Amino acid sequence: MSFTQAALVAVLAGAGTYLVMHRTLTRIILGLGMLGNAVNLLILTAGSSPGNAPIVGEQAPVADPVPQALVLTSIVITFGVMSFLLSMAYRGWTIDGNDEVEDDITDRRLAEEPGEPVDHGEPT
Amino acid sequence: MIPLLLAHLVAFLVCLAPGRRSARWALPVAAAVPAVTFGWLVSQSSSVLHGDVPSANLEWVPQLGLGISLRLDGFGLFMGLIVSGIGTLVMLYSTAYFGRRDDLGRLAGLLVGFAGAMLGIVWADGLLSLFVFWELTSITSFLLIGFEDRSATARSAAQRAFLVTGLGGLALLAGLILLGIQGGTTSLSELLANPPSGTVTSVALVLVLAGAFTKSAQFPFHFWLPGAMAAPTPVSAYLHSATMVKAGLVVVARFAPAFASVGPWRALVVSAGLASLVLGGFRAMRQQDAKLALAHGTVSQLGFMMVLLGLGTPGTTYAGVAMLLAHALFKATLFLSVGVVDHSAGTRDMRRLQGLARALPITAGIIVVASASMAAIPPTLGFVAKEKALDALLDTGLGAIGTVALVGIVAGSVLTVAYTIRIAVGLLGNDAPGVTVEDGARGGSGTGALLEAPVDPSGVHAPSLAFQGAPFVLAALSLVLGIAAEPVGHWLAEVTVSLDPATASKALHLWTGVNTPLVLSAGIITAGIASWWFTVAATRSVDAPYSTATRLYDRAYDSLLAGARQVTAVSQSGSLPLYIGVVLVSVGAALATALLAGSTDAISDVPWANSSLEVPLVALTALLALAVLGARQRFTAAVLLGGSGYMLAIVYLLQGAPDLAITQFLVETLTIVVFLLALARLPRDFHPAPSWAPRWIRIVVSVVVGLTVAGFALGTSQSRTAESVGDDYLALSEPEAGGRNVVNVILVDFRGFDTLGEITVLAVAGAGVVNLVRAARRQQRRKQLSDGLEVEERSGRPSEVWR
């Protein structure tokens, strides 16, 4: 891994973090995609040194195939998650006309309401 | 033994199966299981007592010594006979007590499950088995105490009992684990044969005692037991006599001979036991409900047995075991008889009961015999056991602590005699005054106090014979075993040898001649009668069922709930972005800690760049990524992210990962397509959403997370300590899997199941997408339809309904 690659990990992770802290679901999805890219790059570059493609018969140095196999799975899964979230954004938009993540009203109400007294029954 | 426990489990399931449907067969079926157990134990008894100890193991994790491990020694046999014998009688009694009810299946199942769990405790040899069965009794007793689940009192009592005994069970678990580590064994018998010592052992023993005290309702954990009488009477009878509260005593009895002299054991046992003995006695004097008075009496008696069994000398252990038997017999009898009285007279309030001695002569006789055993009046088993206890306490050889125990027990026994007479006279005596009830409480018209009249004895109906069978058998045993003290004592000596070999020479006698214990007994009985006589008027007007400990517990419980509410109010603001921010900052902090804890010097040999092409590529990727942050339109942002992803694919290519590059290209393209499909419906621009934190905080969080992740990446890349398994895959790929592209071979061959899982995840996500989109479309169509209907209605044309 080189400092240049590390800098790219930093930029992708930072930008992804900034995006997922938004309220708009579309931005959160974009942020997740970017965080996915950051982590994939991290696993690939931290896990092996650069080299030739891991194909039998290639000349040394050959790159480690294990991080590649892991990241390949991860790319596909990230795509699945993003598609699912996008369809949720679409569904949310048909319900209330926007794709913003609202505050959880139940949590708010729980914080404001006094608790119900517990019934301890007849004295024993 | 394991088939017997399994039989209990099967009976439990079978009886629960009918649910709320009537199941009159359930109680007899359930009673058969402890009856068979009793028979088997009788058939085993002679070989067990001659030292042929059966054991059974069901291994789970043998490397850690975990599994179900049982051992039937003399004491296990003795307790097993009590648990299954009284269990059978209680279940038969229940058939008469409950008559027709729809939830008898549940009751029978829980009772038989409870009996099975209790048998597990008394037979357990593995430390883990002991804990598991211990907690099983906590759970089943919770369900039994809360059996009348429509009553808030019963629910609350069940919860108290469960929390107290359940938390005690956790203390016991901690203690058992420590002892297991110290003793180097998970077998109870091996641990007791070679007891460890030292500070850790002392701590472990305090934890074990905490567990035993909660289960056996010892001060200051005694309050759950009187509350637990919210359970139906047969359940209370079983809980108070043979099971549950005896579990703590069983553990103490097993541990005391080996551990009594270690650390604070004796001091704790004697102080908790005597406090419970005296406190329970006092509180029993102040009750008007006969069942509640008996419940407080149980706390008192348990304290007595705790002292005896906890002292751990051969004499006290032997007397304690005799007392266990006597107590199980008379306490079960009394509870069952109170149930009979309650059924016949319609109340358990001792201020309203009168003339029952003539109306219910058999029950009255049973109550008198059992009370005599409780008050240690000859010739009952209670008397014989108490004599032995006094004899042993006079000669403990323990110095001051033995004297304290003796004095405390004599004082407590005076109270025992007093409340026993009070209960017996209260149940059976004449001239009941009636209960004065405040008018307001009864919804009257404000004419002052009303009298709830005494029960008219002529209206009391006699109970059926089946109803009286169980208490009759138990009371007869109290009497017969007392008269047959010599053979019983011989048998008990054979039983107790498994706890402490030095008890082999002990014996019971009904008549020992005039000696110190006899004089003490006579004094106790006289003083007890005197205390009853002088307090009889005063105790009629007090009714103090609610104990301070219960109130304190309830207050603590309420403040726990209030505290949880406050913590929730502070920590759960309801804002998702805030939660995400907290999660990410925590991840950053964890990574930074890991980085600082590891060595950071290794980073010095990291190159600036691997190739000259890398720097411009990385710069372009980063610029595109940063541009996403500033994008005003959804479409622009999506395309910029896609661009950044394409650039990243080239970075992968430089790293030597062509497969990744191809995948990244394809997926990035697909992502843009999906975005386009979704964005076609969504508004073009981002609305400036209300923000949960100022912009600069979000920027600082992002920068910190970015930098720590990158630092972590650098640290990890330099920390490899073992060779990668990738070399093996490279070498094996062609000979084993017949493929040359190693990444592909890993995905479809070496780690094929992972890929199968991945495909499944994708399929699930795809199904989710399809359904969400369909639901959204349906809703839109319905909305259009209802808009259309309004138009049609206004124009007065008939509407058409579509589906």
Q: Supply the pLDDT for residue B606.
A: 80
DSSP B535: H
**Per the structure, how many domains does chain A have?**
1
| Residue at A54 is within a domain | no
Q: Do A122 and B153 touch (CB under 8 A)?
A: yes
Would you call the peptide bond into B220 cis, given omega within 30 degrees of 0 as the criterion? Answer: yes
Q: Supply the pLDDT for residue B276.
A: 94
Query: CA B800 → CA B249, B521, B783, B788, B796, distances in Å?
Result: 77, 96, 15, 10, 12
Is the CB of residue B703 less than 8 Å away from at least one CB of chain A? yes
| Residue at A108 is within a domain | no
Cβ contact B238:B82 at 8 Å: no
Q: Supply the pLDDT for residue B690.
A: 57
Q: What are phi and psi of B147, to 5 degrees?
A: -60, -40
Q: Do A98 and B687 touch (CB under 8 A)?
A: yes
Q: Supply the pLDDT for residue B543.
A: 67
Query: CA A25 → CA A31, B515, B576, B777, distances in Å?
Result: 10, 89, 11, 19
Is the CB of residue A115 less than 8 Å away from at least one CB of chain B? yes
CA of B26, closest CA in chain A: separation in Å? 30
Minimum-distance CB partner of B625 among A12, A62, A118: A12
Is the CB of residue A105 less than 8 Å away from at least one CB of chain B? yes
Q: Supply the pLDDT for residue B802.
A: 40
Minimum-distance CB partner of A123 among B545, B671, B692: B545
Cβ contact B114:B238 at 8 Å: yes
Amino acid letter for position B60: W
| Chain B residues whose beta carbon lies within 8 Å of the beta carbon of residue A1 | 606, 713-714, 717
Q: Do B710 and A10 touch (CB under 8 A)?
A: yes
| Chain B residues whose beta carbon lies within 8 Å of the beta carbon of residue A70 | none
How many pairs of residues across A and B have Cβ atoms under 8 Å apart? 349
Minimum-distance CB partner of B730 among A54, A105, A122: A54
Listed by number, the residues of chain B in 255-294 with a beta carbon closer than 8 Å to a beta carbon of chain A are 292
Is the CB of residue A85 less than 8 Å away from at least one CB of chain B? no
CB contact set of B434 (below 8 Å; sequence gap of 6+): B351, B352, B451, B452, B453, B454
Is the CB of residue B728 less than 8 Å away from at least one CB of chain A? no
User: Mean pLDDT for each consecutive 10-residue tract of chain B (803 residues)?
Assistant: 89 84 82 93 90 85 81 92 94 86 86 94 92 93 90 88 93 94 89 89 94 92 87 90 90 92 90 94 88 92 94 92 94 93 86 84 92 91 92 87 92 93 87 61 48 75 82 93 91 90 85 86 93 83 71 86 82 80 87 76 74 90 91 88 94 91 93 86 71 80 91 84 86 89 91 92 93 85 74 49 40
Query: CA B575 → CA B306, B409, B589, distances in Å?
Result: 54, 62, 21
Residue owning tokens 């006309």: A97
Q: For residue B632, give both structure tokens.
A: 């005003």
| Chain B residues whose beta carbon lies within 8 Å of the beta carbon of residue A35 | none
SS3 B450: strand
ipTM score for this prediction: 0.90
Listed by number, the residues of chain B in 616-645 with a beta carbon closer than 8 Å to a beta carbon of chain A are 618, 621-622, 625-626, 628-629, 634, 637-638, 641, 644-645
DSSP B314-341: HHHHHHHHHHHHHHHHHHHHHHHHHHHH
The full set of domain ranges for chain B reads 2-435+456-555
Cβ contact B390:B517 at 8 Å: yes
Q: Supply the pLDDT for residue B600.
A: 60
Closest residue of B to A61, CA-based?
Answer: B656
| Chain B residues whose beta carbon lies within 8 Å of the beta carbon of residue A32 | none
Domain CATH for A29: 1.10.287.3510
CA of B238, closest CA in chain A: separation in Å? 19
Q: Is the pLDDT of residue A117 over 60?
A: yes
Listed by number, the residues of chain A in 35-64 with a beta carbon closer than 8 Å to a beta carbon of chain B are 37-38, 40-42, 44-48, 50-57, 62-64
| Chain B residues whose beta carbon lies within 8 Å of the beta carbon of residue A95 | 776, 779
Q: For residue B108, give both structure tokens.
A: 């029978």
CA of A60, closest CA in chain B: separation in Å? 12
Angle at B453 between CA B449 and CA B458, to 5 degrees: 175
| Residue at A76 is within a domain | yes
Is the CB of residue B549 less than 8 Å away from at least one CB of chain A? no
Q: Do B153 and A124 touch (CB under 8 A)?
A: yes
**CA-based nearest residue to B494, from B40, B51, B81, B38:** B51
Measure the CA–CA gap between B71 and B55, rounded to whole angstroms. Answer: 4
Listed by number, the residues of chain A in 2-41 with a beta carbon closer than 8 Å to a beta carbon of chain B are 2-15, 17-24, 26-27, 30, 33-34, 37-38, 40-41
Sign of CA dihedral B288, B289, B293, B294: positive
Cβ contact A17:B628 at 8 Å: no
Residue B709: CB atoms within 10 Å: 26
Minimum-distance CB partner of A65 among B230, B734, B746: B746
Measure the CA–CA gap between B561 and B555, rounded to whole angstroms. Answer: 10
Q: What dihedral do alpha carbons B310, B314, B318, B319 form, nearest 10°?
A: -70
| Chain A residues whose beta carbon lies within 8 Å of the beta carbon of residue B661 | none
| Chain B residues whose beta carbon lies within 8 Å of the beta carbon of residue A60 | none
Range of the domain at A43: 3-49+63-103
DSSP B125: -
Q: For residue A12, give both structure tokens.
A: 């992708």
Minimum-distance CB partner of B577 among A21, A48, A68: A21
| Chain A residues whose beta carbon lies within 8 Å of the beta carbon of residue B607 | 2-3
Minimum-distance CB partner of A55 among B584, B698, B740: B740
Residue owning tokens 């009714």: B543
Tens of pLDDT along A16-48?
A: 999 998 888 888 999 999 999 999 999 999 888
Q: Do B765 and A81 touch (CB under 8 A)?
A: yes
Q: Is the pLDDT of residue A122 over 70?
A: no
Closest residue of B to A104, CA-based?
Answer: B574
CA of A42, closest CA in chain B: separation in Å? 6
Q: Do B625 and A34 touch (CB under 8 A)?
A: yes
- DSSP lists the bridge partners of residue B55 as B71
Residue A74: CB atoms within 10 Å: 19
Q: Supply the pLDDT for residue B410.
A: 94
CA of A32, closest CA in chain B: separation in Å? 11
